[in-house]
Amino acid sequence: MRVGTETVGDLEFGDEYRLVWRNGDDGLVGEVVNLATDGYHRRVVPIRLDDKYMSGIRMRLVVQRHENAQPDIVVSSVFMSIPIELREAAIWHEVGHVHHLHVLDESVPVGQRERRRARLDAIAAGSIPATEQEADGFAVSRVGVDAVRAFLEYTLTTRILGGWTGSLGPDLDPGCQELRMRIQRLTDLGRNDPCPCGSGKKYKHCCLR
């Protein structure tokens, strides 16, 4: 997990976040609040319900986007119907991309096509894309390994049963392969292994507690 602070103007923002669910007025179903180190100022990542936008993104229930230099998270009605513990694990994963500045990181391809290619290359090499490992780790630091693994398992099942694997089938589909690797990473985690949140501590001394 990225530690320390990020400076924006005259303000510093650290690792303190709050997830708040809303009533859905104007499509706003929630927001994630990042508090400044002064304890007063804050910045907000809105969570918006937009089925029309999500219908154009195949095989996704939730997505983080970055428009006009401002991040937000977009979800579908189907996403809002799943158990809250799975929803929150997914939201924290997307916030992890914001927290680690993946959109602004020069080492991360900017265009969607370039990102997809980099992701497919990593999967073909039998590895989890680094951005996904970091985002999963951030989610683990918020809700724990079991909740994150449960959402990944739900996503894998939904992908297979929904016929999203196309002609490749669940064994060869890159999305299924990546999800299985991410699930296995959290399943094989031992007490003395490095914590997946990225703190550098052993799991038993960090997010296991």
Q: Could you please report the per-residue DSSP string of 118-172?
A: HHHHHHHTT---HHHHHHHHHHHHHH-HHHHHHHHHHHHHHHHHTTTTGGGHHHH
Average pLDDT of every residue of the chain: 84
Mean pLDDT throughout 77-89? Answer: 95
* Residue 110 pLDDT level (bands cut at 50, 70, 90): low
pLDDT-based confidence at residue 170 (cuts at 50, 70, 90): confident
pLDDT at 32: 94
> Does the pLDDT at position 105 exceed 70?
no
For the residues 150-159, what does the mean pLDDT come to?
Answer: 94
Percent helix, strand, coil in the chain (nearest 5)?
Answer: 45, 20, 35
Cα(66)–Cα(49) distance, integer angstroms: 16
User: Would the pLDDT of 203 be above 50?
Assistant: yes
CA distance 123 to 126: 5
Predicted structure pTM score: 0.85
Q: How confident is the model at residue 10 (pLDDT cuts 50, 70, 90)?
A: low
Lowest mean pLDDT among 108-117, 145-154, 192-201: 108-117
pLDDT per residue as tens digits for the range 59-75: 688 998 877 668 899 99
pLDDT at 140: 96
**Domains in the chain: boundaries:** 6-205
Residue 170: CB atoms within 10 Å: 17
21-80 confidence digits (pLDDT tens):
998 778 999 999 988 767 677 888 999 999 999 988 766 889 988 776 688 999 999 999
> Is residue 106 very low, low, confident or very high in pLDDT (cuts 50, 70, 90)?
very low
Judged by DSSP in three states, 45 sits in strand
Q: Is the pLDDT of residue 156 over 60?
A: yes
